[in-house]
Amino acid sequence: MCSQAMMRCGDSAFRWGDRTYIMGIINLSPDSFSGDGLESIDEARRRAYRMVQEGADIIDVGGESTRPDSNPVSADDEIRRVIPFIGSISKDIGVPVSIDTYKYEVAARALDAGAVIINDISGSSVESGIAGLAAEKQVTIVLTSNQRGKMASDILASVKLQLKDLTDRCVACGVRPENIIIDPGVGFGKTVEQNLEIIRRLDEIKVLGYPLLLGTSRKSFIAATVGSTQEERFMGTAASLAIGIMRGADLVRVHDVRQMKLVCRMSDAILERDIGK
């Protein structure tokens, strides 16, 4: 269990509990589930810099869609999509860059290009060797509970057990506890009802003792609950984040940084935290 209240990622310090931090999403996959996939490096750069201006504390870069019916992408294709972009922004964007991948080769190349966080959604980072890479490079790793292919009947118990197992094995591989963030994996092999339950009971996952990332932005459980139009997904995302922050989320992963920054500030004000600028 991590007892540290602060994490360093590159030149940035994250003081967990002071306020809610924001991870902005850059998708370099043409078949992104949310329709925001970018193929132009220049366009992606403009979006990333705008996100930082709007309040993003981390830029999370992915080159493969994570929607359930998406086609797998080879490591070579993923590298071709993300590495030039990461190399073009990592030195001067002013916030840490994260690589959203479960492939060792992609993660290694991304770290060489300037990324300082590995966001692995596979739920099996130890088997993929990514934990050893994070330990070797002394970088932050996000560990996700992923139920795809193994649907759980008791979702909270399953999520907590998997995250406890992942964090323990990563620490055994040499990852520093203060370099671990956990993600309950909203949308990854879970029913609509289970996703809602996770957000409602997020504080029960928080007891594992690690900073907690919540990623609900534009996901299908929101569409199934309130509607699938852009406005409906947007408002559903805002509601899910506000409640998630009240239940203990430290970091939120979002597409709409400017608007969700306001959600974070309002939630933090209610919790008597630092609301920043």
Catalytic positions: 219, 253
Say how far apart CA 266 and CA 243 lie, in whole Å: 11
Place of tokens 């699938």: 228
Helix (H), strand (E) at residue 100: strand 97-100
**Is 249 in a helix, a strand, or coil?**
coil
DSSP string, 175-218: --GGGEEEE--TTSS--HHHHHHHHHTHHHHHTT-S-BEE--TT
- Cβ partners under 8 Å of residue 90, min gap 6: 97, 113, 114, 115
Rounded CA-CA distance 171/99 in Å is 20
